[in-house]
Amino acid sequence: MKIAIASDHGGFALKKKIKKYLIEKKYEIKDFGTNSEESCDYPDFARPAAEAVAKGDFDRGIFCCGSGVGVSITANKIKGIRAVNAYSEEIAKQSREHGDCNVLTLAGRDKYLDPELALKIVSIWLATPFSGDERHLRRIKKIEG
């Protein structure tokens, strides 16, 4: 599986942990930046990463910012992206089973999401297949328009 990863300064530390985890698990990844904790604008990194996922260059994307909200909003502006800002293992699982979400966004600040929980969320989200149930397909088609 090919995964696009991206973050701003607020998600940089978590992105580094996720990147290490993905490499250990033998995923093919591309890091769209940022490359430091210096203040920057999350759309500069989330947008190109989301566009690459939507185009089919990557199977999925994992994006981090301080709260996970900014990168989620940015990703969801791209046609073909279904991004979820997951904050629990159950939300991660359901987002894949029901919504076939192709981008996972996470809060990089510890006050919002514990980094160890974030890695569990990543693991579950990557391992969970889309159910393919008719009701979920119908809803996804309505989202896509």
How many domains does one find in the chain? Answer: 1
Distance between alpha carbon 25 and the CA centroid of its chain, in Å?
Answer: 17
**Residues annotated as catalytic (active site), given as ranges:** 65, 98
Q: For residues 31 and 71, is the Cβ–Cβ distance under 8 A? A: no
Read off the CATH number of the domain in which 128 is found: 3.40.1400.10
- pLDDT per residue of the chain (145 residues) written in tens, 0 to 9: 999 999 999 999 999 999 999 999 999 999 999 999 999 999 999 999 999 999 999 999 999 999 999 999 999 999 999 999 999 999 999 999 999 999 999 999 999 999 999 999 999 999 999 999 999 999 999 999 8
Owning domain of residue 111: 2-144
Closest alpha carbon to 65 in 81, 82, 89, 49: 49
Counts for the chain of helices (H) and strands (E), in that order: 6, 5
- Its pTM surpasses 0.85: yes
